[in-house]
Structure 1
Amino acid sequence: MNIIETRALSRSYGKRRAVDNLDMHVAAGEIYGFVGKNGAGKSTAMKMIAGLVNPSSGSIELFGTQPRAQRSGQEFSRVGALIEDPGILPTFSALENLMCKAIAIGVVRPDAHCRELLELVGLDDTGATRVKKFSLGMKQRLGLALALVGGPDLLLLDEPFNGLDPESTRKMRNALVRLNRERGVTMVISSHVLDQLDRMATSFGVIRSGHMVRELSVDELHQECGSSIRVRTSDPARALAILEEELPGAALRAEPDGSIIASAPARHAAARFGGAAADPASNATPSPEDIARTLTDHGQLILELAHVERDIEEYFVELMGGADA
């Protein structure tokens, strides 16, 4: 089931289209990395999904429900959002900020709920300190706690790592992963910190000039990127059959130009958290020597053999439309 599904979603401001016919699909339980340049339309798309901005055209489904039915607020009550600046009360403490929202939406046992959230985001020691004295990173963590008030099923987080130092970034990343794994919270996270997204996302969407360029799973991403071997022979079909039989642990695909790409097996989500899938020996790309020896032993004439490295960041930059991303 898709928690979010948009069809030809668009938003115009005057003659400028901030979002242009966006088709987006986020399945239940995913951590969806939303990637794009500044001004690509990420924030505007997330605002429309959160119900903060009305679309100019197109449609949104949340939890399988059409937008007109959503206007009752029932579906939006299941959504937590941190988009652009956190909506905080500067003269209140962190706990008071959370309590205001918790009481307003009718949270049961609000004090215990809010204190748990403060502990989750690492602000449980701030006491009565007014939020206006917080650092940017502390305000960002409070914004995340506010988004979590009421236990939403869907989180929309726009640049949640903004202003955080490396240790705080690690803590927030771990907290988000824990929420996803233990409570099943679906998340859409936009960020320019691609290495952090790669450590936690299970799928990605790349937006350029308001339009979705590509959606792909983490397995597909790591098939596209990383280390691989390109080989071309005089008989591509026969060479592919030989490699599939002799190197069953490799991921093989035939390219339109007749070459064959050999890479490591798809890295499943479990690999990022340990377990059998994380074993390097079971996920290694075949060596050029392995491929050359296998094909030569079966009488194949090798026309080309090359080792290819493709960086994930470079791949996303290409999809986003250039090196100025």
Structure 2
Amino acid sequence: MEYVLQTRDLRKNYGHYKVLNGLTMGVPKGAIYGFVGKNGAGKTTLLRLICGLQEPTAGEYSIYGTANHQKREIVRARKRIGAVVETPAIYLDMTAEDNMKAQYRYLGMPSFEGITDILKLVGLENTGKKKAKNFSLGMRQRLGIAVALAGNPDFLILDEPVNGLDPQGMIEIRELILKLNREQGITVLISSHILDELSKIATHFGFIDKGCIVKEISAVELEKACRKCIHIEVSDTKTLSFVLDEMGVEYTVLSQTEADIFSSISVTDLALTLDKKNCKIKAMQECDESLENYYINLVGGKDYE
């Protein structure tokens, strides 16, 4: 598998405080990678390191195979990155077009060709002379992404892109990210605490806790782990297992009295069959573990960022 970003035992200390503590992860090319962690877990610190805003204390990372200790080469590799870290890098007293022109000048681009196309891509082509300070929060976020797209990057880093947005703003950012990924082929790394939104677009997930990656998983694998089931409590799971085996049903026994059933079943037929074998159903509930529940069960606690 080809990776856009890889980190190996990456560490970042501030005095005695360890923000990143041996972090190892990989963002596959073409992925939308959801980066999930509690407050202070180290997500933004990692993004700042990748963008060259800070230096690691130890360990290394590579961008498109170029390691960070290769000073000249890593600068060239970073030119393939567009990023919105913490807040959008925009001038509030300037229009969307003037913000784009300022970024083009900063990058030393020879002309302003392509600005109209980028603004159209993010849905800001008709903002005219309206200044960014009069934009909605969602429009500012989209302008920040537009600025990050200057220079035609193929790796986009977004730090909390839907934070504070209303439902319509979230939908607009979600659709934009999907369009950039599917139509432009841009790999996207998203740090976000809006787990429900991440579950709708991410192809891969990385869960960080106390500066370490505790789990990397694809969306396909996560869907299997979070799939719907019927949680059933009975008087005897040995009898339940015998009946479910005869029915050809997939299940997992959790204890002497509890099990999860993963296939569609006739509850009536199951209840009648168990009753004939003197096995009583005490409780039954349909379950569908969410990304949020999966994350909480993985790292513990509810105070996620």
TM-score range, shorter chain: 0.7 to 0.9
1:181 aligns with 182
Q: Percentage identity across aligned positions?
A: 37
Instruction: Report the residue type matching 1:206 in the other structure.
Output: F
**CA–CA separation in structure 2 for the residues paired with 1:320 and 1:140:** 30
Instruction: Say if 2:86 is the partner of 1:84.
Output: yes
> Where does 1:237-276 land on structure 2 (aligned, <5 Å)?
246=248, 252=250, 261-263=260-262
1:94 aligns with 96
Conserved? CA contact 1:233–1:303, under 8 Å: no
2:300 aligns with 321
2:216 aligns with 215
Offset, 1:127: 1.6
1:171 aligns with 172
**CA–CA separation in structure 1 for the residues paired with 2:269 and 2:26:** 38
> Where does 1:48-59 land on structure 2 (aligned, <5 Å)?
48-59=49-60
Structure 1 residues 291 and 183: alpha-carbon distance in aligned structure 2, compared to 1, 3 A threshold:
farther
Structure 1 residues 74 and 308: alpha-carbon distance in aligned structure 2, compared to 1, 3 A threshold:
same
**CA–CA separation in structure 1 for the residues paired with 2:119 and 2:291:** 34
Match of 1:311 among 290, 298, 305: 290
> Where does 1:155-166 land on structure 2 (aligned, <5 Å)?
155-166=156-167
**CA–CA separation in structure 1 for the residues paired with 2:301 and 2:286:** 21
2:143 aligns with 142
Helix, strand or coil for the counterpart of 2:119? helix
**TM-score after normalising by structure 1:** 0.78
> Where does the alignment leave 5 or more consecutive residues of structure 1 unmatched?
264-284
Instruction: Say if 2:287 is the partner of 1:286.
Output: no
Conserved? CA contact 2:82–2:153, under 8 Å: yes
Offset, 1:129: 2.6
Instruction: Say if 2:121 is the partner of 1:120.
Output: yes
Structure 1 residues 165 and 230: alpha-carbon distance in aligned structure 2, compared to 1, 3 A threshold:
closer
**CA–CA separation in structure 1 for the residues paired with 2:84 and 2:186:** 15
Structure 1 residues 239 and 55: alpha-carbon distance in aligned structure 2, compared to 1, 3 A threshold:
farther
**CA–CA separation in structure 2 for the residues paired with 1:168 and 1:179:** 17
**CA–CA separation in structure 1 for the residues paired with 2:6 and 2:223:** 24
**CA–CA separation in structure 1 for the residues paired with 2:285 and 2:184:** 42
Offset, 1:6: 0.7
**CA–CA separation in structure 2 for the residues paired with 1:290 and 1:184:** 49
1:206-251 superposed Cα distances (whole Å, 9 cap, x missing partner): 11121112111112222222421467854999889767xx45xxxx
Conserved? CA contact 1:6–1:60, under 8 Å: yes
1:99-150 superposed Cα distances (whole Å, 9 cap, x missing partner): 1222433546524x11222222222222223323334333222111111112
**CA–CA separation in structure 2 for the residues paired with 1:132 and 1:158:** 21
1:182-215 superposed Cα distances (whole Å, 9 cap, x missing partner): 1211111111211111110011111112111211
Structure 1 residues 90 and 242: alpha-carbon distance in aligned structure 2, compared to 1, 3 A threshold:
same
**CA–CA separation in structure 2 for the residues paired with 1:165 and 1:108:** 38
1:272 aligns with none
**CA–CA separation in structure 2 for the residues paired with 1:58 and 1:304:** 54
Instruction: Report the residue type matching 1:190 in the other structure.
Output: S
Structure 1 residues 311 and 107: alpha-carbon distance in aligned structure 2, compared to 1, 3 A threshold:
same
**CA–CA separation in structure 2 for the residues paired with 1:207 and 1:56:** 18
1:278 aligns with none
Structure 1 residues 253 and 145: alpha-carbon distance in aligned structure 2, compared to 1, 3 A threshold:
farther
Between Structure 1 and Structure 2, how many residues are aligned?
295
Helix, strand or coil for the counterpart of 1:156? strand
**CA–CA separation in structure 2 for the residues paired with 1:288 and 1:208:** 41
Structure 1 residues 262 and 109: alpha-carbon distance in aligned structure 2, compared to 1, 3 A threshold:
farther
1:190 aligns with 191
Structure 1 residues 27 and 237: alpha-carbon distance in aligned structure 2, compared to 1, 3 A threshold:
farther
Offset, 1:171: 1.4
Offset, 1:255: 6.7
Structure 1 residues 57 and 229: alpha-carbon distance in aligned structure 2, compared to 1, 3 A threshold:
same
1:13-51 superposed Cα distances (whole Å, 9 cap, x missing partner): 111111111111111111011111222111011111222
